């Protein structure tokens, strides 16, 4: 079993309701060589006070405080800049990992010489009730990701030592763009079809953001990835079709 350091990137804004669950889900990991880098994005609630209490008893937990709110992507980038791990993983303040997530995933990556990996996960409601088991394919390449965002950010781990660090752009779907950038560098990512995390879904935000999400996706195809109009239509149709069934 490897003993490489894993840097866990966590943006936080007014997450006092869920931040304890997130931190505790990292602390119970059976793989113990990690650092949790939380960026508190100028929260106005008790988020930082809660984080500070955990920092007193666990030196693996670190927190960067933003003087003013700068958003998710810039906050993640500040944590990535500070990360010292050979591997980089992501976990938002309102999501949680299952106990053996890191151990199983890192062992899988080492055994199969994988530079980017992901796992299946459960979606859950705001109060933690399980909604759905989100299955994943065993392998995903760049073209696959253009058709549908298969890789959940909360399950993403990449080898920063071999690939270098990847940062997030300050536009919508910044985590999706980062995965595309990684997949341009490698033939494929591989997944574990076992749910090892819980992803919290807010139903109101899903319905209200559909149009904005569609605009972001089209912008990515045409302006970020520089894909032709015809191919963009092709990928966009796949993306909207798969997205509809993803949360059905």
Q: Distance between CA atoms of 16 and 18, rounded to whole angstroms?
A: 6
Per residue of the chain (248 residues), what is the pLDDT tens digit? Answer: 579 999 999 999 999 999 999 999 999 999 999 999 999 999 999 999 999 999 999 999 999 999 999 999 999 999 999 999 999 999 999 999 999 999 999 999 999 999 999 999 999 988 888 889 999 999 999 999 999 889 999 999 999 999 999 999 888 789 999 999 999 999 999 999 999 999 998 876 544 467 778 888 889 999 999 999 999 999 899 888 776 555 44
Give the list of residues 6+ apart from residue 182 with CB closer than 8 angstroms, or none.
115, 116, 158, 163, 166, 189
Residue 248: per-residue pLDDT: 45
Residue 22: per-residue pLDDT: 98
Q: Which of 157, 193, 196, 199 is nearest to 178 (CA)?
A: 157
Q: Distance between CA atoms of 216 and 93, rounded to whole angstroms?
A: 23
Residue 239: per-residue pLDDT: 86
Residue 211: per-residue pLDDT: 77
Architecture label for domain 6-201: Alpha-Beta Complex (3.90)
Residue 164: per-residue pLDDT: 96
* Residue with the two structure tokens 């299955």: 135
Q: What Rg, from alpha-carbon coordinates, does the chain have? A: 17
Residue 247: per-residue pLDDT: 46
């Amino acid at each position: 079993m490897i003993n490489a350091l894993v840097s866990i990137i966590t943006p936080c804004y007014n997450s006092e309701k869920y931040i304890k669950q997130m931190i505790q889900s990292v602390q119970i990991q059976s793989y113990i060589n990690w650092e949790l880098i939380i960026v508190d994005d100028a929260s106005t609630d008790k988020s930082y006070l809660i984080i500070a209490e955990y920092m007193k008893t666990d030196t693996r937990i670190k927190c960067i405080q933003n003087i003013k709110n700068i958003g998710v992507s810039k906050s993640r980038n500040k944590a990535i800049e500070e990360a010292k791990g050979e591997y980089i993983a992501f976990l938002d303040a309102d999501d949680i990992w299952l106990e053996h997530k890191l151990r199983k995933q890192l062992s899988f990556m080492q055994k199969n010489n994988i530079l980017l990996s992901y796992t299946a996960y459960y979606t859950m409601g705001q109060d933690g009730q399980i909604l759905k088991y989100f299955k994943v394919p065993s392998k995903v390449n760049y073209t696959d990701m253009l058709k549908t965002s298969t890789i959940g950010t909360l399950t993403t781990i990449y080898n920063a030592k071999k690939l270098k660090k990847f940062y997030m752009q300050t536009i919508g779907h910044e985590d999706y763009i980062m995965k595309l950038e990684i997949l341009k560098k490698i033939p494929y990512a591989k997944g574990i079809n076992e749910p090892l995390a819980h992803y919290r879904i807010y139903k109101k935000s899903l319905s209200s953001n559909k149009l904005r999400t569609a605009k972001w996706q089209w912008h990515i195809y045409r302006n970020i990835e520089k894909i032709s109009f015809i191919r963009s239509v092709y990928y966009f149709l796949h993306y909207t079709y798969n997205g509809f069934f993803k949360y059905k």
